[in-house]
Amino acid sequence: MFRILTTLNLFLLSVFIWADELPEAPPFPTEGLILWLDANHIESQEGRVIRWPDHSGQENHLIQNDQPLQPLTTEFNGKKVVRFSQSSLSLGKLNGFLSGEQNFHIFVQMRADLQTTGSPRLIDISSIQSEKSYTNKRKGFWIGYEDYSLDPDSKGRLRLGVAAGAEAASSQLAWNGQPQILETIFAGNQRWSLYENGTSVGHGRYLGDVGFLGFVGGAQLTLGQHSHSQDPSHFFNGDLFEILAFNRVLNTAEQQQVGKYLSQKLAGEASYKVASKQPVFESDIQPLLVNKCADCHSGEEAKGGLKLNALIDLYRGGTSGPILTPGNAQKSFLFHITASGEMPPAEFGEPLSVDELELLRHWIDHGAMAKEPINLRALNQKTESDHWAFQNLKPPKLPMNMGNHESRSAIDDLIAVGLESQNLTFSDTAPKLTLIRRASLDLTGLPPTPQEIQNFLQDTTPEAWDNLLDRLLSSKHFGERWGRHWLDGVGYSDTNAMDNDQAIVKPAKGKWKYRDYVIKSFNADKPYDFFIQQQLAGDEMVDWRNAETYDQRIKEHLIATTMLRCAPDDTDQDELNILSIRYYILHRTAESVAQNLLGLTMQCCKCHDHKFEPISQRDYYRFTANFTTAWQPRDWLKPLNRELLLMGAKEVTAIEEQKASRQTQIDAIIEMGRKALRQKTLDAIPEVLREDLLAAQTVAKEQRSDVQKYLTEKFGETFDFSQAQVMPTIPAVQQKEVTAFTNEINQLNKNLDDSWAQSVYDVGSVRPTYILRRGEFEKPGAEVEAGIFSVLDGPTVLEMPQPIGNVTSGRRLRLAQQLTDWDSPTGALTARVRANRIWQHLFGVGIVETVANFGKSGMEPTHPELLEYLACFFVEHDRQLKPLLKKIMTSQVYMQLSSVGSDEQAKQAVKLDPDNKLLWRQNLRRMEAEAIRDSILFASGRLNLTMGGRFDDIVNLPSGMVVEAGYSSVTPETTWRRSVYLLNRRNYHPTVLQVFDQPLLIEACQQRDASASVSQSLWMLNSDFLGHQAQALARRIQQDAPDDLPAQLEQLFQYTLGRTIAADEKESCTSAFKNHLMLFKNGGAEDAQAYQQALASVCQVVFSTSEFIYIQ
C-alpha cells in the first residue's frame, strides 16, 4: 500500500516538459541517423532528467533511474540544457550501431565546466564481452578530457580513445567554459578525427592488434560518465544541448549542413565555420602533394607504382589499388594515410598539418575536381586481354577429314590435325576387352563383371559400344565416381576444422548430405548451370527462412551450399576465432571458387596486382565481396552456430513430443514390471526378515550394523531394479513393446541428427568491402562493389537478383548467373574449365595441363580448337555431362589402344612425341585410390553397394595405420562400402587411400598425383586388408570351381584383370601355387587350409600387379 502511494505521489509531483515538436523535415541529412537528443525535449521530474528521448526513430532513449545521478534540466543563456554534475544517463543497447568496426559521425553541442582533476568522460560507448576476460576483446570508445593527474599541462585538451588502447588528443584547449560544437568521426581503419566548431583539431589512429570497435552484440552508451565508474573524477561537469549520431561518415557538404543547423540554434554562442572556398586541384592540392609526396612518388621509379604528379595518376592509384574515392575523403586511402601520419614517413618530412588535411578532405569531399576537366574514360574501361581463355566461346571451324585418319567424330578430326602435322595417325582401336574395362572404370570406378564382359564380347551389333556406354552412364555408380571427382575439386571433407589432431575427429553434423547431393546430382545429370547455382547460392533461391516446413526442394538447395563450407574453419576454438583467421576463411572460400570453377589462381592478387595476369588487386576484392555477406568476418558465425537444422520448428516439436510419449510408455511398462519384480523378490525372502532388510537398505553402507550388512549382502543392496534387470522379467509382449518403442526413439534421434546441414547463407547486414593493402585486414583501402574479374566482365551488367525474404543480398546468386552466362567471357571460361576437367578424367591429362590455371601463367591448351569444340558442345547440350562424355568416349582418340605397337609408325610416334601430347594413343592411367580399393573389394566379392547416408567410420591405430572401423572383427562375411562413403578427413586418410595419393584436403585438389611409392608396394605385399580380400577372393574362386585349379586361376584373372589367363601365366601361377601349397603344408596347415592359403597368396600377387591398378 505504501509503495503504491509513493509511486502515485511521485507521479502527481512530476513535471513533464514537452516543448515544441521537432521540425518534420530536419535541415540536414537523416540517412544513418541513429541518435538525436535535443535538450528541448526532455522527460523530467522535479527538475531532474529521468529520460532523454531519442528522435532518430531508433528508440535510443537514455535513462537514469538512480536519483542522485539524474542530471538537471535547466537553461544556459536562455537555451534549454541538460546539466551534468556527477550525473549520467545511459542506454543498455545502442540500436542502429552494428556490431563490428562501425563508422560513425557524432555531433555534440556542449559546454564544459572547468575541472581540475581526473579524466572526465563526456561520451562512453562500450561493449564488454562478459564470458571472456580477454583484454583485447573488451571494446570501447570514448570522448573526454586529458587526465590532469597524469599531465597537468594538458588541462583542457579534448581527448578521445579506446578502452585499453591508444589515445589521441586535440592540439589546442577546448575546455573554455563556452558552448561549442564538438564533432567526432570514426572512419573505419581504426582512424578517427576530432573537430571543434567545424575545424579539425586532431587526428588519431589506433595501432592495436584487432579492430578495437568490435562491438559484439550491440554497444552500450553512457553520457557524462566513464561507464560503471564511481570515481568522481570520471564524471563530466557541464551542459549538453544536443547530440546527433550517425552510423556512417558524412561528407563535407552534409557535415556543414548539420553544423549550420546546430550553430543556428546556438546563434551568438558558437558558430560553425563553413569553408568559404572550394579547393581546386591545381592551386590547392597539387602544390601540397609536390611538396610532401613527389620526392618518392614521381617518375618511373615511383614508390608503390604510385605517381602523384597529375590528377589522372591520383585516380589511377598505385599497385595496391586506388587511393581516391571522389566525394568521400573518409573512404579515400590518400586521406587516411596522410591523416594518420603514416605518410610521408617520418624520415622524409613532417606530417601534413591539420589545415592541410582539412584542405585535402574538402577537396576530396567536393569531388576531387580540377579546373581542367580530366578524361576519366580511360580509367573506367574494362581491362582488355587478348589471352585466349578470356574470350567468348567461338565454335571452331571443323577440319575436313581427307581420309588420312580413322575418324568417328569431329573430336577425332580436330586431334588429327596435330597428328597429321607430324605424319602420325591414331593407334588401332583397342580390343573390346580393353574397352569395356576402360569404360567401366572411367564411368563407374568399378571393373566389369565377367558376365558383363561376356555380354559385351558376344554383342556384335554396331550399337554394342553405344549400348554399353548408355548402360554405364545410367548406372547409379556413375555418380559415385564422378561425384568423387567433384568432391576433390571443392575440397570436401566431413569435418569443418583443419583436422590437425589425429586423435580428435570432429565430423560436422550431416555434412555428408552434401556428398550424397553431389552423387545424386551427377546421377541425375543436373545441368551445370543449375548445379553450380545451387551450390553457390542455394540459400538465395528458396525462401527457407519463412518456410514452416522444409520440403525436399528447400533442403536440397540448402545442402548444396556446403560447397562453400569446405575451407578449413577452426573458429569454433576461441583462440582461433580472430579476425585474421576469419578473413583467411573468407578469402580461401573465394579463391577456391575461382580456382575450381574458373580455373583462375587469384591468391597473388590478394596483396598486389598480378604480375602475369590481367587481374588486379581490386578484382580480388570485388570477387571476394560476393561472399562477404555470408562469410562476414565482422558478423562471424562459428561453424557450430552456422549449421542449420533442416526441419521446421513444428517438426522438431512433433518429434520431441513423440519421443517423450514413447518414453512415458516405456517408463510405465518398466515401472509396472519393477513393482512386480520387487514384490516377487520380497516374497522370496522369509517374511520375518523383510522389514529388517528394507530398513537396512535405507542405511548408508558404512553405517550398517553387522546384521544389516549380512542381510543386504545376502538379499540385495536395493530393490530399485534397473530397466535392464526388469526387462527379462516382464511378459514377452511387453518386452517387444519396450524394444519397439526404444527403437522408435533411437530412430527419431537419428532423424534429428541427420537433419542438420552445413549450409551457407547471408548473415548480418551488408557491409562494405575494402581492398586490403598487402592483404592485411588492418589496412583497408578503397571500397569495392561485388563483381567478377574485370577482364571477364561482359558487355551487359547483370542486375542483382531480387532478394528472397528481404534478407539475401543476391550477390552469390548473381555471381552464379555470371558464371553461367554462356554468352559472356565468364561463361565461356566456366565451360572451358569444365570441359577440360572432364577430358582430364578420361585421358589423365587436361587439354590445358594446368587444369586449375587458365591464366597467362598457366599452360596453353595442346588442342585449343578441340577445347573450344568441347566447351561449345557442353553448352549446346544443356550443360549436361553425360552427352559430352558419350561424345568423347565414342571417338577414336578415346577408343584407341594405349599400348605401343611395334611397327614403324609406332616407333616414329614414340620418337616424335614421347609424351603423347598429340594423342596418337590413349594414355595408360593409374587408377585413383578409391577405384583401386573398390576394385579389390569388387573382385573379392566383399563390396557392399549400399549408397548414401552417414559415412563409415575409420580408426587410427597406434602404429599410424588408418583402417576401416570394424577392422578388428573381420569375418569372411564382412563387407565394406565404396571408398567415397568412408569418413573424409583432411588428414589421416585410410592408409590404403593415402598411399595411393588420395589428396590431403587442406586445399581443394584439381589434379591428383599418381605416384609409384614403395609404401604402395609394402601395402600390397603385407597389409591386413589386402590379405583379407585375397582370402575372400580365394574362397570365391574355389566356390566357383571346386577342386579345379586351372578353372580357379581362370576365374581369378576374370575377376581381377577381366581377361582370360594366358598359358604362360597359368604355368607360373600353377607352379607358384604348388610351391606355396607345399610350404603351407610343411608349415603345419591342414590340406584344405593350406590349399586356401596358397591360393590366397596367388590372389594377392595378382591384386599387386600393375595391370590390376592401371586403366589401359
Residues 956-985 that bind other proteins (CB under 8 A): 958-961
End-to-end CA distance of the chain: 97
Of positions 987, 1035, 1041, 1059, contacts other proteins by CB under 8 A:
987
Q: How far is the CB of 244 from other proteins (least distance, A)?
A: 34
> Which residue, 418 or 568, is less far from other proteins as judged by CB?
568
Stretch that binds other proteins, among 11-19, 308-316, 749-757, 1006-1014 (CB under 8 A): 1006-1014
**Cell numbers representing residue 709 in the block:** 550388512
**Cell numbers representing residue 1036 in the block:** 570365391
Stretch that binds other proteins, among 7-15, 406-414, 884-892, 1014-1022 (CB under 8 A): 1014-1022
SS3 call for 214: coil
Give the per-residue contact string, 307-346, with other proteins (x = CB under 8 A; - = no): ----------------------------------------
Name residues contacting other proteins, limited to 577-596 (CB under 8 A).
584
Rule CB under 8 A: say whether 655 interacts with other proteins.
no
Stretch that binds other proteins, among 84-92, 402-410, 700-708, 1004-1012 (CB under 8 A): 1004-1012
Phi, psi at 826, each rounded to 5°? -65, -50
Q: Among the residues of 684-776, which ranges form H helices?
A: 687-698, 706-715, 723-726, 732-753
Calpha distance 492→514 (Å, rounded): 9
Name residues contacting other proteins, limited to 856-915 (CB under 8 A).
857-859, 897-903, 906-907, 910, 914-915
Q: How far is the CB of 133 from other proteins (least distance, A)?
A: 5
Rule CB under 8 A: say whether 955 interacts with other proteins.
no
Rule CB under 8 A: say whether 575 interacts with other proteins.
yes
Stretch that binds other proteins, among 382-390, 469-477, 535-543, 1012-1020 (CB under 8 A): 1012-1020
List the one residue out of 482, 461, 242, 315 whose CA is nearest residue 980: 482
Q: How far is the CB of 906 from other proteins (least distance, A)?
A: 8
In sequence order, what are the beta bridge partners of 43?
Answer: 51
What type of residue sits at position 994? Q
> Which residue, 103 or 994, is less far from other proteins as judged by CB?
994
> Which residue, 41 or 610, is less far from other proteins as judged by CB?
610
Stretch that binds other proteins, among 53-61, 174-182, 824-832, 1016-1024 (CB under 8 A): 1016-1024
Name residues contacting other proteins, limited to 501-530 (CB under 8 A).
501-503
Of positions 708, 991, 1051, 1092, contacts other proteins by CB under 8 A:
991
Stretch that binds other proteins, among 414-422, 436-444, 458-466, 1001-1009 (CB under 8 A): 1001-1009
> Which residue, 502 or 746, is less far from other proteins as judged by CB?
502
Residue in the structure block whose three cell numbers are 511398462: 669
Rule CB under 8 A: say whether 275 interacts with other proteins.
no
Contact 764, 98 (CB under 8 A): yes
Of positions 607, 694, 748, 798, contacts other proteins by CB under 8 A:
607
Rule CB under 8 A: say whether 1016 interacts with other proteins.
yes
> Which residue, 584 or 822, is less far from other proteins as judged by CB?
584
Q: How far is the CB of 45 from other proteins (least distance, A)?
A: 41
Rule CB under 8 A: say whether 576 interacts with other proteins.
yes
Q: How far is the CB of 1102 from other proteins (least distance, A)?
A: 7
Name residues contacting other proteins, limited to 839-858 (CB under 8 A).
850, 852-853, 855, 857-858
List the one residue out of 328, 330, 348, 326 whose CA is nearest residue 339: 330
> Which residue, 136 or 401, is less far from other proteins as judged by CB?
136
Name residues contacting other proteins, limited to 817-836 (CB under 8 A).
none
| Number of Cβ within a 10 Å radius of residue 976 | 23
Calpha distance 24→22 (Å, rounded): 6
Calpha distance 676→488 (Å, rounded): 60
Contact 790, 610 (CB under 8 A): no
> Which residue, 695 or 1021, is less far from other proteins as judged by CB?
1021
Q: How far is the CB of 1080 from other proteins (least distance, A)?
A: 6
Calpha distance 953→709 (Å, rounded): 48
Name residues contacting other proteins, limited to 143-202 (CB under 8 A).
none
Q: How far is the CB of 53 from other proteins (least distance, A)?
A: 39
SS3 call for 468: helix
In sequence order, what are the beta bridge partners of 109?
Answer: 181, 242
Residue in the structure block whose three cell numbers are 563553413: 274
Calpha distance 379→940 (Å, rounded): 66
Contact 354, 172 (CB under 8 A): no
> Which residue, 102 or 592, is less far from other proteins as judged by CB?
592
Calpha distance 265→28 (Å, rounded): 13
Q: How far is the CB of 1101 from other proteins (least distance, A)?
A: 5
Listing DSSP states for 65-80 in one string gives -SGGGPPEEEEETTEE
Calpha distance 1093→480 (Å, rounded): 33
> Which residue, 132 or 750, is less far from other proteins as judged by CB?
132
* Site size for other proteins (CB under 8 A): 93
Rule CB under 8 A: say whether 997 interacts with other proteins.
yes
Contact 511, 494 (CB under 8 A): yes
Give the per-residue contact string, 90-129, with other proteins (x = CB under 8 A; - = no): ----------------------------------------
Q: How far is the CB of 388 from other proteins (least distance, A)?
A: 14
Q: Which residues contact 903 (CB under 8 A, 6 or more apart)?
A: none
> Which residue, 640 or 859, is less far from other proteins as judged by CB?
859
> Which residue, 72 or 924, is less far from other proteins as judged by CB?
924
Of positions 357, 410, 1069, 1095, contacts other proteins by CB under 8 A:
1069
Rule CB under 8 A: say whether 1012 interacts with other proteins.
yes
Rule CB under 8 A: say whether 228 interacts with other proteins.
no
Calpha distance 837→1006 (Å, rounded): 8
The separation between CA 250 and the C-alpha centre of its own chain, rounded to angstroms, equals: 34
Contact 540, 804 (CB under 8 A): yes
List the one residue out of 830, 827, 798, 828 whose CA is nearest residue 814: 798
What type of residue sits at position 281? F
Rule CB under 8 A: say whether 433 interacts with other proteins.
no
Q: Which residues contact 970 (CB under 8 A, 6 or more apart)?
A: 1028
Q: Which residues contact 831 (CB under 8 A, 6 or more apart)?
A: 393, 822, 871, 872, 874, 875, 879
List the one residue out of 913, 922, 881 whose CA is nearest residue 1110: 922
> Which residue, 56 or 1051, is less far from other proteins as judged by CB?
1051
Half-sphere exposure in the Cβ direction for 973 (13 Å, CA): 0
Q: How far is the CB of 319 from other proteins (least distance, A)?
A: 13
Calpha distance 684→720 (Å, rounded): 16
Contact 349, 297 (CB under 8 A): no
The counts of H helices and E strands in the chain are 37, 28
Stretch that binds other proteins, among 154-162, 358-366, 663-671, 1062-1070 (CB under 8 A): 1062-1070
Contact 803, 374 (CB under 8 A): no
Calpha distance 677→336 (Å, rounded): 82
Q: How far is the CB of 6 from other proteins (least distance, A)?
A: 44
Rule CB under 8 A: say whether 132 interacts with other proteins.
yes
Of positions 17, 417, 498, 682, contacts other proteins by CB under 8 A:
498
Q: How far is the CB of 995 from other proteins (least distance, A)?
A: 7
Strands 943-944 and 976-977: parallel
